[in-house]
Amino acid sequence: MKITGTTRLAGIIGWPVSHSRSPLLHGFWLDETGVDGAYLPLPVKADRIEQALRALPVLGFRGCNLTVPHKRAALAIVDRIDPLARRVGAINTIVVAPNGSLEGTNTDAFGFRENLRELAPQWNSASGPVVVLGAGGAARAVVVALSDAGVAEIRIVNRTLARAEALAGDLSTPQTRITIHSWDEVSAVQRHAGLLVNTTSLGMVGEPPLVLDLSPLPVSAPVVDVVYVPLETELLAAARRAGHPAVDGLGMLLHQGRPGFEAWFGAPVRVTDGLRSAILATLVPPR
Ligand code: ATR
């Protein structure tokens, strides 16, 4: 990579940010497209995020991604929030407009939908109610994606019911009914469901595994895990054993990067096997 006087700049702002795979992801696409661009890790603490975002147009940045702990805080800082990001309640992508204003969006719902389209093409919104495990930030993006895809009923299972109630209150629409359930009901809600999605951190390296009896779930229903370290969680292994289509979380991460790249660098990009292997090689937990 050669930096020139006209190199287009973007990056990811977070604290910590060193664990982020986004520089690798966008670096892969920069190499592949040959765009004169650079994508940098930008470590910024919570109390400096407003200064950092305001500096983006001053420094000539095209925009940035946001990660922990800035995704909600940015809602109060950017100049324009697209309606989808407002519904998700978080901004993960900022585009600097030609006049220097900051436009905030969220591409996680897009990433989820594209990954599902690619890895479970047989699924559609008429396949039946969808079970969503979890009610955190990832769950919100997944619920928005499912609602926009036309799913009529979403069953949320969460440990903290108040959080599920808040999600249902914010995201229910006349077309999409959201019901809330405790973990005691996790078997009952799987009956006649058309899709099951884990958005909790259970199963992630360092967290307890998600051990679920999937026998009530119709065998045609895909099982999606948004966790991608490890790639093959216990939940996905159990789903495969029981004959369900199983969809891992890496594709969601990769696809969510596309809209930002295309906006900042002006070239279309795809999620290919080569990209998956390149990122996968960095996900193997150190021994
Ligand atoms: P993210 O932004 O990745 O969604 P989050 O907002 O912290 O992260 O949400 C984590 C989700 O995992 C929540 O649904 C959380 O349940 P609570 O709302 O009850 O906290 C769920 N979760 C995490 N650890 C869990 C555990 N040990 N048992 C059950 N649910 C758990």
Closest ligand 1 atom to the C-alpha of 160?
A: 19
Q: With a threshold of 0.85, does the pTM exceed it?
A: yes
Residue 126 has a pLDDT of: 97
pLDDT, tens only, 49-62: 999 999 999 999 99
Mutate to test the pocket of ligand 1, among 91, 112, 200 (most ligand atoms within 8 A of CB): 200
Residues of the chain with pLDDT under 70: 1, 285-287
Catalytic residues: 71
Digit-coded pLDDT (tens) for 100-116: 999 999 999 999 999 99
136 touches ligand 1 (CB under 6 Å): yes
CA of residue 202 to ligand 1 center, whole Å = 8
Return the pLDDT at 286: 53
Q: Which residue has the tokens 């800035």?
A: 70
pLDDT for 285: 59
Closest-CA residue, ligand 1 atom 3, reads: 138
Q: Which residues of 45-79 are buried (b: 16+ CB within 10 A; e: fewer)?
A: eeeebeebbeebbeeebbbbbbbeebbebbbebbe
Instruction: Judge if the beta carbon of residue 88 lies within 6 A of ligand 1.
Output: no
Q: Which of 201, 205, 225, 252 to mutate to test the pocket of ligand 1 (most atoms within 8 A of CB)?
A: 201
**Intra-chain end-to-end CA distance of the chain, in Å:** 31
Ligand 1 centroid vs 135 CA: distance in angstroms?
7
| Residue in 71, 159, 182, 233 to alter for ligand 1 test, most ligand atoms within 8 A of Cβ | 159
The pair of structure tokens assigned to 234 is 């216990």
Q: What is the pLDDT of residue 283?
A: 86
Atom 20 (ligand 1) nearest CA: 160
Provide the pLDDT for residue 284.
72
